[in-house]
Amino acid sequence: MSEGALLIIDLLEDFIAPDGALTLGPDGERACAQAGLALASWRRRGGLVVHVTDAHQPNDPEFSVWPVHCVVGTLGARERPEVAAQSGELVLPKQHFSAFYKTELEDVLRQHRVRSVTLCGVCTNICVLYTAADAQMRGLGIEVLADACAGTSQAAHRFALGELAATLGARIV
């Protein structure tokens, strides 16, 4: 039984690498480094880790809004080495903003009797926020590692942290 799960959200080359399709620049690199530290600590405790990864097809409808990114099989869709999945950790591809939408995440969390999720990754104002909203709607507690997240801008990151706390009741650490 596991009370909590760490969700590593979209810490992929296209978001973090300086030449990534949707790079977040130094903010993304800092967040990824902090997420790596959190992940190492979580692994020492033996907690459940889920790596949520943007995984688009070349003709994904999302590309009418965002530039082409994280296409399955490309370098941009690879997890960063600092947070790469290890044996026994679930890698959960997603095609939408929320890690719950059209994935097996809810079933996995139920199987492990997870009552709360700790979130880190990118983008704070998109995939982290929408995943947290879906977690809250499922009755899960939410913790967000603020230093291990980055938004599309610093203003968007701060806004999302405010929404996560005020609207969703997330604990921001």
Residue 74 included in any domain: yes
pLDDT tens-digit readout, 107-120: 999 999 999 999 99
Q: What residues make up the domain containing 155?
A: 4-168
Q: How far is CA 133 from CA 45, 51, 88, 104, in A?
A: 26, 18, 27, 17
Q: What is the pLDDT of residues 10-34, one digit of tens each?
A: 999 999 999 999 999 999 999 999 9
In a domain, 38, yes or no: yes
| Residues 58 and 98: beta-carbon distance below 8 Å | no
| Domains of the chain: total | 1
Question: Do the domain assignments include residue 20?
Answer: yes
Which residues lie below 8 Å from residue 32, measured CB to CB, with a gap of 6+?
11, 16, 80, 82, 83, 148
